Amino acid sequence: MSVLELCEEMNAKLSSMQKVLGVPSEEKREVVMFTSESVNEGHPDKLADQVSDSIVDACFAQDPDSHVACETCTGTNFVMVFGEITTNAKVDYEAVVRETIKGIGFDAPEKGLDYKTCEVLNRIHAQSVEIGQAVKKSKTVKPEEIGAGDQGHMFGYATDETPELMPLTHSLATGLGYQLTVVRKNGTLPLLRPDGKTQVTVEYEKKGGFLTPLRVHTIVISTQHDPAYSQEQLKKDLMEYVIKPLIPSHLLDDKTIYHINPSGKFTIGGPEGDGGLTGRKIIIDTYGGWGAHGGGAFSGKDPTKVDRSAAYYCRWIAKSIVAAGLAKRCIVQVSYAIGVPEPLSVFVDTYGTGTKSDAAILEIVKSNFDLRAGMLVRELDMLKPKYKKTAAYGHFGNCARPSDPDFTWEIPKKLVY
């Protein structure tokens, strides 16, 4: 073997060792930009998500064995709920809908909807208790024998960019939306209205699979407001009470671009401005475009639907891997067949940032997590009324919302390996 061939072989082995150890190799440094968006709780699609999850909660508050598949649509002066529910709970669906609308802040027609006067349509098909039991086959079935409620593939993602181990772009976008709601509801900026959208672009240094946030490139906020609010004052107030308290100052500079209500006046919002439907904001609900998504929405579904429960569980796995220092970034995928308890496949990818090989980390996952459909629901304590609060500003962590023990999938598991 020539000296040149020997050097090439040694370099290849060194590169392989660096990848396994999580050490960035001398790969080309790139500066890239990535953008994530979010919408406020008054956005029509988010209103629909919150109504659907409020109904899930109302059922679980009385009957933890409820099976819920509730959809919501909304438009000018109406909200309609529909779908199939099997439960022993006695729920006043109209009251739940109106209370949810009220909590969001739609309490006058000029805001886009009035919880007191809007039409509420109930097209929920309430199955009999006997049919519900047949769907589950038997109440005597052990949790480990319960099959998945449907087929599908679900993903979880985590990254060490933020303390909550979420992508920075998404955490900031959802955090800005959350902060907009806080200052609207606590009286700091009372002329704001419920509807709104946010968007954040971040510049990253990229070396292979390693990502390092450098700066915030652009912030976009479009918020509904009272007609008395001048655009000039609105921009000043949002900078002072929304952007500055939330965006870390070291990420802002004199080149950061701000687009605040770039279309101008935004007084018509909520269902008066656009129709809304459950499940149309699945990227906002998850990772803001990072990682991957299996396509199934979360809101309105009880946790027997693996679209929801397994996606939460995959987030728990990915976050536990990153929290344990096994990787800087991680994506996890599982898949199921309807009626089959065990997953069909489990996949782990650390984007080359792992301190062990992906195959070794996969074995750690298999030895620390029970991915059977009935077991993951119980391990994360999902049979409780805790879903409405997931339905706005992300089902996972963001930089503004306080930590909540009900988000059990956000508490990393201590891994044994």
In this predicted structure, the answer to whether residue 127 has a pLDDT above a threshold of 70 is: no
Give the pLDDT band (50/70/90) at residue 131: very low
pLDDT band at 23 (very low <50, low <70, confident <90, very high): low
pLDDT of residue 141: 81
Q: Is residue 32 packed enough to be buried (19+ CB in 10 Å), middle (13-18) or exposed (0-12)? A: exposed
Instruction: Please report the pLDDT score of residue 77 as a whole number.
Output: 97
Q: Which whole number is the average pLDDT over 58-86? A: 96
Reply yes or no on whether the pLDDT at 306 is more than 60. yes
Helix (H, G, I), strand (E, B) or coil at 188: coil
Above pLDDT 90, what percent of the chain? 85
pLDDT at 399: 87
What gap in Å lies between CA 379 and CA 370, rounded to an integer?
8
pTM above 0.85, yes or no: yes
Q: Which residue has the higher pLDDT, 108 or 3?
A: 108
Which of the four pLDDT bands, split at 50, 70 and 90, describes residue 134?
A: very low
**Long-range Cβ contact pairs of 364-369 (< 8 A, separation 24 or more):** 364/321, 364/326, 364/415, 364/417, 365/317, 365/321, 365/332, 367/416, 367/417, 368/320, 368/413, 368/415, 368/416, 368/417, 369/313, 369/316, 369/317, 369/413
Q: What is the pLDDT of residues 267-285, one digit of tens each?
A: 999 999 999 999 999 999 9
Give the DSSP letter string of 210-243.
EEEEEEEEEEEEEEEE-TTS-HHHHHHHHIIIII
Q: How many residues are there in the chain?
A: 417
> Above 80 in pLDDT, residue 51?
yes
H or E stretch including 74?
A: strand 67-75
**Structure confidence at residue 97 (pLDDT):** 98
Q: Is the pLDDT of residue 144 over 50?
A: yes
Q: What average pLDDT does the segment 102-112 reach?
A: 97
pLDDT score of 136: 57
- Local confidence band at 26 (pLDDT 50, 70, 90 cut-offs): low
Is the pLDDT at 394 greater than 90? The verdict is yes
Q: Over the chain, what is the mean pLDDT?
A: 92
Confidence of residue 16 (pLDDT cuts 50, 70, 90): low
Closest CA to 208 of 322, 325, 329, 314: 329
**Averaged pLDDT for residues 62-66:** 94
**pLDDT in the model for residue 150:** 87
Among 82-91, 122-131, 182-191, 238-247, name the one with the lowest average pLDDT: 122-131
Q: What is the pLDDT of residue 54?
A: 98
Q: Tell which wins on pLDDT, 398 or 322.
A: 322
Q: What is the pLDDT of residue 83?
A: 95
pLDDT score of 135 more than 50: no
pLDDT digits (tens, 9 = 90+) for 153-179: 999 999 999 999 999 999 999 999 999
Rounded Cα gap, residues 126 and 304, in angstroms: 17
Looking at per-residue pLDDT, the higher value among 21 and 197 belongs to 197
The predicted pLDDT at position 14 comes to 56
